[in-house]
Each structure stands twice: as structure tokens, then as C-alpha cells.
A and B are shown apart, each in its own frame.
Chain A
Amino acid sequence: DADVTQTPRNRITKTGKRIMLECSQTKGHDRMYWYRQDPGLGLRLIYYSFDVKDINKGEISDGYSVSRQAQAKFSLSLESAIPNQTALYFCATSDGGEQYFGPGTRLTVT
């Protein structure tokens, strides 16, 4: 079984809808991250969390919110989706060393 899982893997939604992307990990890491990847822009950090009570904004947090429900779970929400949030979203975990990435969620906002 994969160490970092993301659900859903693909999602198409309409402008204005609320959507949640979920991430679970079995590596026992405290640190979890959400990134988005866009062609030509690379990976950009949205939010990161060092433990259940510690949430930090990344470089592009506007329009997003997160919840760290447990050490193993970190979810990303788009309160009111807009088309420029169409992207590939990755969750990652770390114990302070390299980051381990999930398979990604491809989100399309129409």
C-alpha cells in the first residue's frame, strides 16, 4: 500500500463550489504539505503543518484553507472554486528529511 494517499485522484467541479482534497499518510511523519503544480510554474507551496496544532501559510494560500485532523490526515479545501485553481495538487510528508509525495489530485474547475 502507498505511504501517502490522496483522494480523489481526479475531480471536475464548477466555479463557486466548495471542494475538499484529502491526504492520508502511514509514514508516521509530523510534517505535512500541500502543493500545486502548474505548467511552467513548477511546484508551489500552499500550506504546511508541523503537527496537529501547527498550520502555516505557504506562498500561495489565498483561496485555500486546510485542516489537520490527525497526525496522519491533512485536508485542503477550496471554499469557492475558481477556474485558475485548475491544477495538479500534491500532498507530501516529511520527518525533517526528504519529502514523500502522494500521487496527486488533478482538479479542473469549469
Chain B
Amino acid sequence: SQELEQSPQSLIVQEGKNLTINCTSSKTLYGLYWYKQKYGEGLIFLMMLQKGGEEKSHEKITAKLDEKKQQSSLHITASQPSHAGIYLCGAGSSGGSNYKLTFGKGTLLTVNP
């Protein structure tokens, strides 16, 4: 079965700093989803990447997919306290179908004002 490893497990940054979270898959990536979760709340969809080399941005968050490395990175520029939370990556199952997603264990981000 596919496994997703996220690094780092937790991260503390000062407001205004940039940061990167990585998600590495044990198998070929057919679709990679990034979610954000506030503590004890539901997951909010951020973005989806499907093609190798694809890069998407939303406000100050950019995600990239490196198909060869079976890895995706999430980069936050000029972090703000509102960026704090748990970031999870999820990957679709083989064959291009994302009817089942496997999730990483998450990266806990703390942004100090």
C-alpha cells in the first residue's frame, strides 16, 4: 500500500519567515492533495496537483509536484499567524483514480507573532 511521509513533523517559525513542508510517496504519485486543518476541526482543501512539474499557488501558498522524486512540496511565503495549523498531504490510489486517498501524518505549523 502507498505510504506518504511528511517532513518535518512539526515546525515553529517567526511571523514573516518562509517555510517548506515536504510530502514523499513510497509509490508513483497519481494525484496529490494538500489540506489544512485547524486543531480539532475539519480539513480544508488547499490545492491539487496532478502532473509532474505542476505548480499551483493560492495567496502566499505554493505547491509543486516532482513526479520523478515522487514528492510534493508546500511553500509558504512571509508566514502569518493565520497560516498556523496542521498541513496534510493526500495521494490518490494507483491507476489515476483518486477514489481513495492515503494521507500523510501531517505537519504541525506554529507561527509566532
- A: residues with CB less than 8 A from B are 4, 31, 40-43, 45, 48, 50, 58-59, 88, 90, 92, 94, 96-104, 106
Cα distance, A40 to B106, chains bound together (Å): 9
Chain B residue at smallest Cβ distance from A91: B42
Known A43-B88, A48-B100; contact A88-B33, beta-carbon cutoff 8 A: no
Closest chain A CB from B39 CB (angstroms): 10
**Main SS class of interface, A:** strand
Interface residues of B in 74-113 (CB under 8 A from A): 88, 90, 98-101, 103-106
The 18 listed contacts between A and B (C-beta, < 8 Å) are A31-B99, A40-B105, A42-B106, A45-B100, A58-B100, A59-B1, A88-B40, A96-B98, A97-B98, A98-B33, A99-B33, A99-B43, A99-B90, A99-B101, A101-B42, A102-B42, A103-B41, A104-B42
Known A48-B100, A97-B48, A98-B45; contact A42-B40, beta-carbon cutoff 8 A: no
In the complex, besides A42-B103, A99-B45, A104-B40, 17 extra interface pairs with C-beta distance below 8 angstroms are: A31-B99, A41-B105, A42-B104, A42-B105, A43-B88, A45-B100, A48-B99, A58-B100, A90-B42, A92-B43, A97-B48, A98-B33, A98-B48, A99-B101, A101-B42, A103-B41, A104-B41
